Amino acid sequence: MKFGISTFVTDDGIRPDALGTALEERGFESLFLAEHSHIPSGTTAPDGTELGRVYYRTLDPFIALTAAASATKNLVLGTGIALLIQRDVIHTAKEAATLDLLSGGRVILAVGVGWNKKEMRNHGTDPRTRGRLLDEQIAALKAIWTRDEAEFHGDHVDFDPIHMWPKPVQRPHPPVYIGGQSSAALARLATQGDGWFPVHATPDEIAQVRESLAAQGRTGVTLNAPADQGDLATLGKFAEAGADRATFHLDTLPESATLRKLDELAAVTERFRN
């Protein structure tokens, strides 16, 4: 099982290039960056608690991952997750393909519908149709990446034939992971996903999703498990359940504090391997 880091990269934490270097030096396989374009004033978390400053200070994930790419050679560069429903799909296709080209084919695009309805509305997105929009956007991305002349005609995404380069280095395209654990997200995973990126999941849920995908003829789908550094036993259960990667959430901290935390997490992965 591989080990990665998911985090918010902000303007008052460790720089993404320094973070990428530190991760690669410590043997981590991947980095996944969260995204929020902004947070409307007065917004609280789904459980009613106050949102931390990281939510409205996040760097653009594609630019931040480009900085990380420039400082690394093998680190996998992922969004975790990109709020695709708040983005222009053609621009996103170009940004992801450009990052894949510049990094030598190291990109994973994890996407989801998000939860902040005020944020969605500020982008002109109707929360009631965000799932159907995401389905069409994923299909449109793949069309743009894989065709010299792509077109798409749906209820929410519609464009006549276009030319868009660069094409991604990875073939047929960078892996698209599906975020979320709802029934709609799992249905999307089965039909459109190359991987699953849940925020919360148990070993039993990982095993159930793996079994469900196999029953639908979907093999080779990557399952990402959210890791707890204090629970080696559950890490082992994730591996037994069929998880391909375990990702530790890294709090956003200054560089020196981040490096100390990464040393702790690297020690956890070493104990697990031994």
Maximum CA extent, the chain: 55
* pLDDT tops 90 at residue 263: yes
List, for residues 163-206, the tens digit of each pLDDT value: 999 999 999 999 999 999 999 999 999 999 999 999 999 999 99
Asked whether the beta carbons of 256 and 15 are under 8 A apart, the reply is: no
DSSP symbol at 87: S
Q: For residue 232, what pLDDT is reported? A: 84
Q: For residue 138, what pLDDT is reported? A: 98
Q: For residue 47, what pLDDT is reported? A: 84
Q: For residue 230, what pLDDT is reported? A: 85
- The H or E element that residue 274 is part of is none
Asked whether the beta carbons of 131 and 113 are under 8 A apart, the reply is: yes
Average pLDDT over residues 68-77: 98
Asked whether the beta carbons of 227 and 3 are under 8 A apart, the reply is: yes
% of residues, the chain, pLDDT over 90: 94
List, for residues 197-225, the tens digit of each pLDDT value: 999 999 999 999 999 999 999 999 999 99
Residue 212, token pair as written in the block: 């469900």
Compute the distance between CA of residue 137 and CA of residue 24 in angstroms, rounded to an integer: 32
List, for residues 19-72, the tens digit of each pLDDT value: 999 999 999 999 999 999 999 999 998 888 889 999 999 999 999 999 999 999
Task: State the amino acid at position 22 in one-letter form.
Answer: A
Q: Which CATH architecture has domain 2-273?
A: Alpha-Beta Barrel (3.20)
Number of Cβ within a 10 Å radius of residue 7: 25
**pTM for the structure as a whole:** 0.97
| Block residue for tokens 């997490």 | 265
Residue 48, token pair as written in the block: 């009613």
